[in-house]
Amino acid sequence: MANSPFKNYSTLKIASNDDQNGYQLFAAFNSYQKSRMDFLADVTFGEPTIETTKMVFSEVMRDLDKNRILLENISGTSDFNYKFVIRNLTNCRNKKDEPCLEECNCCIVNNKTQKEKDIAVSIPNDILGCHAFYLILENIIRNCAKHGIRKDDIKIYIDFDDCKREDDYYKLHIYDNSEPEKLDELVEKQNKSLNRNILEGNKLRQGGWGLIEMEAAAAYLRKHPLEDINEDDFEVNVEDSSSIYPVGKEAETQSGKPNFLKAVKVHNYYGYRLFLLKPKELLIVYDEKAEEIINQIAPKKGELRKNGIKFVKIDEFHDEALKRGVIYSYPILIFAGTKEHYKDKIKSNESSLPIRQLVCLTDAEYENSRFSFNLSQENFSKVLKQSDVFKILNEVWKAWILRQFNYLGIKINNKTFFSVINAKSNAKEIALMNDGADFVELIKDNDPSVSFDSHAIENCEKICSDIEDVKSYAEPYNSKDYFLIRKLITRYKDYPERLAEKDFQSLLRLIECTGTTIHIIDERIQELAERTPYKPERGKQQTNNKTINEIQYIDLLYATHVIIPYSGSNEFKFLRKTQESEQFNLNAKDFTPIRDKIIIYLRSIIKTTDSHSHTKAKADFLLLHLGVVEKLISSDSDKTYDKEKQIKEFIQNEILEGKKNVDTKIIFISGRGKPHNLPEDFLYLNFSIVAQYCIENRLKYYLNDVVHSAKHI
């Protein structure tokens, strides 16, 4: 590329990233900075609460690779040529007791091999946690450029492997082939620096700040309080490089306390070892009444635990621990036991536990609600008896989807679920089978539909213009952009393609997102969604002289059941016809004239147990900007609220009107760190995480996952 501005950084060769023009490059850089600022704000206030599963290559590294301006310049020199080599050593056939040699290519994860080899990790606070990882990489690149002897053809290896002594973590070695001088001395010096007290004379020490940054980021990635990096429990053993614990604690296993960060020598190169959380897949809480069912699979429990399925007996489930801030960041929970235990331990700690629940009561039939459904003992046994982890998880998710959609009144016939339309409008059908998914040709009918459209927004436009259709779903995607969609929805029409068993869960989560309605009340997202047009990329089938329509994001999101009210502005062309009573400018300085309108609107979108069918008009999740709520409270001079409880009282009395049978989950969003006035049992998400999945990295799949993982602050 003659005019390519990139000389230093050799890319991961991801097509959508390689296709960015200059403006898109700057947009990516600005987005990166914005998220970095949010991360730095978040890191000062406390520990992350949510965790989301991310694929290392196709999500985490892809997003970093997009930021070419950063990667080109971060080294600080103009002649430092480098690239990332990501490797998944967990199942490499060449690995024996030692890590794979650097030349081993069997474990490399790249564009071609990512489908089989990409590795899933659990990242705290989504994009913010990714920035903790990026911070470590940035520091390593800069140190490598500054101190390494070699400057050319630098490879920065990121090796993932299982940790034999800690089931909950992946062990990472990040090292480079820059050949620093006096390697052993360097390793020892850095480890001693890692053990140094951060405070000297009761203030920040001099020197070694880069290591503090990296170690703090490593602690954030493990959801530990940052001050733990200064504790003896996490000191590194300088003498024994293989040890992952402090001196004197080498005999420990499963303590959950391996070192945060340690300087190591890997293949005679300088590097660091840290640990990332393995994904959490399923939490099973049971009492003595359900013990018999659980004991059927007692021999498999250890293996299941290594793969993210955790069993917790009700006695270990302490209210105190939960109220103290322990959060179970699993995507889905199965409870097996008595009604009383469910009420005392699970229901009373909702905001610390998974939102999705399957409830198997041993002494009663469970009454379904929007996010928790009855699971019979027979079905629970059937789940546990599956032969491996993937089959167990697939059964759980299938049970979840079928019950949820039945509750919502979403029609699923026996064979088919929804259709996928390509640019030629040939519909494909996805069927739910026991062990994967088949693709079959189908004639599309006129029922409310779900469609994922490659390079096209016609279905979105249709949905927006038909206000009677409150169920249909349409989401455009660009085939180059999304590894996930490409993996799950094939365009090959000649062969039925069988989905890999390990990807079936992702498919079901994609299906789930089509049945979830999210309402967002946030002035920043409202403004951005109204102003920003979505223009689908030109597909291969489209001729060059055909005009490509645009659609404002606010309408596109509507078609994906993410509802943002119009502000009432005439500046842009919108597709939906809404009542004037449903339009209000959340950016208004004074809320007094629009206060009643907003409150009436909010009341109207609350879903209750007696009106629980699926519709865009009612919210499964209501995302409320805390600032908007505060403005609503202060704009009413007639009412006074208790200062400590005003948010809670306002929500309970004004929005929910004292109702108890509410299905809608209310989540507060804020970008100001951890708000001090948020009621303790209310759900919270960082604004940055929500905003990026609405506009920049718009995909309902991710937004759906994030709202389901919301926890109390």
Partner 1 sequence: MTISRTDNTKDIDNIELRTVLRNLVLKIDEYLLKKEPYYESLKKIGGKVREFDEDGNIVTSKIVSFQIVSYGTVFQSEHFYRVHNFCYELDRYNSGHARYFENRENKSLLPIYDEDQRTGALWYHARDPKICPSQKDYQLMYEVNIVPAEYKNFDNYQECNQQWKNWYEMIYDLYSDVNSVLATNYMVKLDKNFNIYSGVFLTFSRKLIGIERSFIKDWCQQTLSKITSENLIPDLYRHAIRQATRAAISQVMARNMSHNLGSHVMSRLVTEESLMHYLSYNPPR
Q: By the criterion CB under 8 A, which residues form the site for partner 1?
A: 1, 3-5, 18-23, 25-26, 29, 33, 36-37, 40, 43-44, 69-70, 73-76, 135, 138-139, 142, 198-199, 202-205, 209, 212-213, 216, 225-227, 229-230, 318, 320, 323-325, 680
Nearest Cα residue to 709 out of 319, 389, 336, 327: 327
In whole angstroms, the minimum distance from the beta carbon of 49 to partner 1 comes to 11
Task: Tell me which DSSP letter residue 543 carries.
Answer: -
In whole angstroms, the minimum distance from the beta carbon of 263 to partner 1 comes to 18
Q: Residue 59 or residue 215: which is nearer to partner 1 going by CB?
A: 215
Long-range contacts from 223-228, C-beta under 8 angstroms, 24+ separation:
223/47, 223/48, 223/51, 223/124, 223/277, 224/47, 224/260, 225/46, 225/47, 226/43, 228/260
- Phi, psi torsion values for 549, nearest 5 degrees: -70, 155
In whole angstroms, the minimum distance from the beta carbon of 136 to partner 1 comes to 11
- Phi, psi torsion values for 96, nearest 5 degrees: -110, -110
Q: CA–CA distance from 300 to each of 201, 281, 387 (Å)?
A: 52, 16, 10
In whole angstroms, the minimum distance from the beta carbon of 476 to partner 1 comes to 21
Q: Residue 130 or residue 513: which is nearer to partner 1 going by CB?
A: 130
The helix (H) or strand (E) run that includes residue 440 is: strand 437-441
**What order of strands is seen across the sheet that includes strand 473-477?**
437-441, 427-432, 416-421, 450-454, 473-477
- Phi, psi torsion values for 267, nearest 5 degrees: 50, 40
Q: Residue 205 or residue 444: which is nearer to partner 1 going by CB?
A: 205
| Cβ(221)–Cβ(229) below 8 Å | no
Task: Tell me which DSSP letter residue 367 carries.
Answer: P
The helix (H) or strand (E) run that includes residue 216 is: helix 209-220
In whole angstroms, the minimum distance from the beta carbon of 460 to partner 1 comes to 26
Q: Residue 343 or residue 411: which is nearer to partner 1 going by CB?
A: 343
Q: Residue 16 or residue 609: which is nearer to partner 1 going by CB?
A: 16
Q: CA–CA distance from 622 to each of 350, 494, 521, 653, 708 (Å)?
A: 17, 42, 8, 16, 12
CA–CA separation, 422 and 477 (whole Å): 10
Write down the residue that tokens 């989401």 correspond to.
475
Q: Residue 142 or residue 444: which is nearer to partner 1 going by CB?
A: 142
Angle at 282 between CA 279 and CA 284, to 5 degrees: 140
In whole angstroms, the minimum distance from the beta carbon of 323 to partner 1 comes to 5
In whole angstroms, the minimum distance from the beta carbon of 146 to partner 1 comes to 11
In whole angstroms, the minimum distance from the beta carbon of 399 to partner 1 comes to 34
Nearest Cα residue to 277 out of 208, 225, 237, 224: 224
In whole angstroms, the minimum distance from the beta carbon of 240 to partner 1 comes to 26
In whole angstroms, the minimum distance from the beta carbon of 107 to partner 1 comes to 29
Q: Residue 1 or residue 101: which is nearer to partner 1 going by CB?
A: 1
As given in the structure block, the two tokens for residue 709 are 């993982």
As given in the structure block, the two tokens for residue 115 are 């489908």
The answer to whether the Cα torsion of 260, 264, 270, 274 is positive or negative is negative
Q: What is the DSSP string of 697-711?
A: T--HHHHHHHHHT-E
In whole angstroms, the minimum distance from the beta carbon of 386 to partner 1 comes to 37
Q: Residue 118 or residue 481: which is nearer to partner 1 going by CB?
A: 481
Q: Residue 68 or residue 356: which is nearer to partner 1 going by CB?
A: 68
As given in the structure block, the two tokens for residue 365 are 């039939």
Task: Tell me which DSSP letter residue 538 carries.
Answer: P
Q: Residue 43 or residue 464: which is nearer to partner 1 going by CB?
A: 43
Q: Residue 20 or residue 243: which is nearer to partner 1 going by CB?
A: 20
